[in-house]
């Protein structure tokens, strides 16, 4: 699968008194990178809602390797795992200068009917086709 790289600098409000990123903020970094991934595929959460489905996170897994610190430049690589039933995204957070891994993780998203809030047992075919097409480019 085609990877998308999202770059960011750790802001002061994300760190503790030792200037280390609070562990819960990595989920937020995944979210920012996921939005960049969708943009690169020509999609947005608004597009999904317009066609009638949502993609809530149903599981989140994070593996911490080394702490990120205030002011550090990060590269977050997002790659979709082949799966037609769930959207599975893998993240790799590295120091932008050294390439050292800081964290890696996975989010799994199930498609839900936006109006009825019922689980769909597969990703909507037009959405999946659009993802696959964007990944080829």
Task: Tell me the pLDDT tens digit for each residue of 24-78.
Answer: 999 999 999 999 999 999 998 888 888 899 999 999 999 999 999 999 999 999 9
Share of the chain above pLDDT 90, in %: 79
* CB-based contacts of 81, cutoff 8 Å, min separation 6: 1, 88, 89, 90, 106
pLDDT surpassing 70 at residue 1: no
Written as six digits, the tokens of 5 are 């790289």
pLDDT at res. 7? 98
- Predicted confidence at residue 47, as pLDDT, reads 85
The proportion of the chain whose per-residue pLDDT surpasses 70, expressed as a percent, equals 99
Q: Could you please state the CATH topology (level 3) that the domain comprising 3-136 is classified under.
A: Thiol Ester Dehydrase; Chain A (3.10.129)
């Amino acid at each position: 699968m085609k990877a998308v790289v999202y770059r960011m600098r750790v802001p002061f409000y994300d760190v503790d008194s030792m200037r280390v990123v609070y562990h819960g903020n990595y989920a937020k970094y995944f979210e920012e990178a996921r939005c960049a991934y969708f943009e690169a595929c020509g999609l947005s959460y608004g597009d999904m809602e317009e066609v009638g489905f949502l993609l809530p996170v149903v599981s989140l897994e994070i593996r911490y390797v080394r702490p990120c610190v205030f002011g550090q430049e990060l590269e977050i690589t997002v790659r979709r795992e082949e799966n037609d039933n769930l959207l599975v995204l893998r993240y790799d957070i590295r120091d932008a200068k050294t390439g050292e891994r800081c964290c890696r993780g996975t989010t799994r998203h199930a498609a839900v009917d936006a109006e009825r809030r019922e689980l769909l047992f597969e990703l909507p075919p037009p959405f999946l086709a659009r993802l696959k097409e964007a990944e080829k480019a």
